[in-house]
Structure 1
Amino acid sequence: MTLYSLLDLAPIVQGGTATETFRRTLDLAQHAETWGYHRYWLAEHHNIPGIASAATSVLIGHVAGGTKSMRVGSGGIMLPNHAPLVIAEQFGTLESLYPGRIDLGIGRAPGGDQNTARALRRGLGSSGDTFPQDLRELRSYFAPASPFEPVRAIPGAGLSVPIYLLGSSDFSARQAALLGLPFGFASHFAPDYLYEALALYRDHFQPSAQLAKPHVIVGVNVFAAETDAEAARLFTSLQQAFLGMVRGNRSELRPPVDAMQWTEAEEAYVHRMTRCSAVGSAATIRERLAEIIENTSADELIITAQIFDHGARLRSFELAAEVLRELVVKPVGAC
């Protein structure tokens, strides 16, 4: 059976504030819980005007405190930006506050530009190159602690905080397979190596105490509305965000437009990077999501949507949940 979950990038819209974003994030999470979403993840990004989830652990606590049973976590924490002990303490604290509900998704990208990465890592001496060692250290802090250990995560030691590895290449797929951890692929913004990474992960998976068999999470943009035309218009906010990256002109999330103004090369790039998307009415997204599930044999879809209007965003996730509830009743076939 395929689970369905939600990834929130905590968008700051043009003319809006982070305060409004956090209020809307909690509102969306509370609705998502009633719509049957399995988990609600927030992603670490820095120095990006349209994303407010930089202090990811703090925002996870905000969401977990305002919901009752849904799992809440990171999709993900960018481990090279942090000392592993700090993350163990933060998520040990979250798990102690909200037992059995906290996920720790881990990535090795900086979550921002290189200047910001240097500012975050000042004196830390860490990078993506040390990711395997950092991950090993992080996991050690969640193990039961010996009284003779010189450094312990308090809280954290002995707590069962499930770890997920996230990525958009074969590196994290290999690590997740080797360690027997769940693997999430960021196909919602970097789909190029999706199938290669999933095949590698499944082929080389080694069972662990956390996981007996592979668990694949696939990221998908879902923009749903009453009509295909309305959904396509909502989707232009995300298209503008990708276009802004191409042009070096990042901004808060822009309102939708009737028609995109771009060159042929820009259009091709944006379409390539957002091709793991379902955009349209309920009937249209049902067909597309069924195709994605069948082609990837995903154990879980984690859907996201950078939609300017909060009401339209709520409706999109509600329609997606209605469609996914129908799709996941029966297991889908392998690709």
Structure 2
Amino acid sequence: MTAIPLSILDLAPIPAGSTVTDALRNTVDLAARAEEFGYRRYWLAEHHLAPGVASAAPQILIGAVAAATERIRVGSGAVQTGHWTPLSIVEQFGTLDALHPGRIDLGVGRSGQRHAETLAREGRPGPEREASVVDGLLIPKPFDQRRLAGSPVLSLFRALLQQPGAETPDFAEQVEQITGLLDGSYRSAEGHPARATPGENADVQLWILGSSGGQSAQVAGERGLPFAANYHVSPSNVLEAVQAYRKAFKPSAVLDEPYVVVSADVVVAPTDEEARELASPYALWVHSIRSKLAAVPFPTPAEAAAREWTEEEWDLVADRIDTQFVGAPGTVVAGLEVLRRVTGADELLVTTITHDHADRVRSFRLLAEAWGLTGSGGSP
């Protein structure tokens, strides 16, 4: 079987001892290298209030990356619809498309809404499903969201990322408005049209990103849109997400058949041992996200080696660490092939974080060479 395309998800990580400027320059540099290596698309995440992540404004970063490249598709992975109105999203991405025609992906997700939902979860029963291995792919025990429900940071997100008193509409309604503004069919409840300029008739690809078999997967399937399932952050739910999407799928003007991208966290080095050392700070980084909802600057391997873990602390990050693909090129390719086979992915979305930028660039290069990418870039 011909290898499926690989793409990149970038958070613009800030290494310990580095700066935001360094991180953003590294992102632009990596994107140009990714185009040379043959990756299909380069997506920027949206993260807020995180000292170790510089991708708080992916729309701006997308413009910088698109300007520094020529062929690779560039987009969001994902715009958090809980923080933006459909019109603002369409106008922003319409502007990007006008500047870089035919290369822009608009990925949207419910992350901003899920923060608010998590506030109400405290006290509910936690997940009971145990870890399993499905045809060689580890499906870990679900992370218990009740651990986050009491965090004051969730309230802070809501206070700083939404206007006072604002209520986020239903996700399906937001996607319908985005679609209508893009294709010119939008009408208000009273029947009045709205014309997004820029935005209307923009040549952007609309994607839905999701971490479970819930509303995001349902909306993507019912509207016949491509869907990106999240193995690198919510690995326990990836199979139910892709299954729910395929079950709900209806052919559309966009797709005749389902199209699934699956994300994966990867670190590649010449040897398994070196890759494990480069990946070792990841546990500290994930712990900062899970315990404080704020990613710290990415630590050094030496800092990781000095850390002593309690059983409770390790349990907080185990699902993320156990589902990383870390090793020499052949080791990682074998693991990603299992992920592709079990999920039926049409494309894989790879994210890599190391303390040193050169190691991160090398990781993507080694993977591209081992996977057989040709440097063609392009789109589905």
Asked whether the equivalents of residues 145 and 158 of structure 1 are also in contact (C-alpha less than 8 Å), the reply is no
Q: Note if 1:251 corresponds to 2:313.
A: no
> Is the Cα contact below 8 Å between 1:11 and 1:306 reproduced in 2?
yes
Q: How many residues align?
A: 326
> Are the aligned partners of 1:88 and 1:153 in contact in 2 as well (CA < 8 Å)?
yes
Partner of 2:142: none
For the 8 Å contact 1:246–1:266, the answer to whether it is kept is: no
Which residue of structure 2 aligns with residue 168 of structure 1?
211
Instruction: Give matches, 1:134-149, under 5 Å.
Output: 134-144=174-184
**Inter-partner Cα distance in structure 2 for 1:53 and 1:206:** 33
SS at match of 2:42: strand
Compute the TM-score of the two structures, normalised by the length of structure 2: 0.81
- Provide Cα deviations, 1:107-130, integer angstroms capped at 9, x if missing partner: 011288341233211147233x62
Q: Could you tell which deviates more after superposition, 130-139 or 82-91?
A: 130-139
Partner SS for 2:16: coil
Structure 2 matches for 1:149-228, cutoff 5 A? Answer: 150-171=193-214, 172-228=216-272
Task: Determine the C-alpha separation between the residues in 2 that align with 1:302 and 1:62.
Answer: 20
CA distance in 2 between counterparts of 1:47 and 1:246 reads: 14
Amino acid across the alignment from 2:47: H
Aligned to 1:279: 326
Alignment check: 8 A CA contact 2:186 2:194 kept: no
Deviates more, 1:262-271 or 1:195-204: 262-271
> Map of 1:1-335 to 2, 5 A cutoff?
2-110=4-112, 113-123=154-164, 125-127=166-168, 130-144=170-184, 150-171=193-214, 172-248=216-292, 250-256=295-301, 257-258=304-305, 260-325=307-372
Deviation at 1:260, TM superposition (A): 4.7
CA distance in structure 1 between the aligned counterparts of 2:93 and 2:177, rounded to whole angstroms: 14
TM-score for the superposition, normalised by structure 1: 0.92
Q: Structure 1 stretch 33-42 or stretch 221-230: which is displaced more?
A: 221-230
TM-fit CA distance, 1:264: 2.1
Which deviates the most, 30-39 or 202-211? Answer: 202-211
Distance change in 2, residues 1:138/1:268 (3 Å): same
Q: Contact 1:78–1:107 at 8 Å: present in 2 too? A: yes
3-state DSSP of counterpart to 1:192: helix
Deviates more, 1:31-40 or 1:240-249: 240-249
AA partner of residue 317 (structure 2): V
For 1:121 and 1:40, the matched residues in 2 are separated by 28
Cα distance in 2 between the residues matched to 1:192 and 1:15: 33
Maintained 8 Å contact 2:231/2:262: yes
**1:14 CA displacement:** 1.4
Q: Which runs of 4+ in 1 moved over 4 A?
A: 145-150
CA positional deviation for 1:145: 6.1
Gaps of 5+ in 1: 328-335
Query: What is residue 333 of structure 1 aligned with on the other side?
Result: none
- Using the alignment, how far apart are the partners of 1:114 and 1:179 within structure 2? 32
Listed as ranges, the gaps of 5+ residues in structure 2 are: 116-152, 375-380
What amino acid is the match of 1:142?
Answer: L
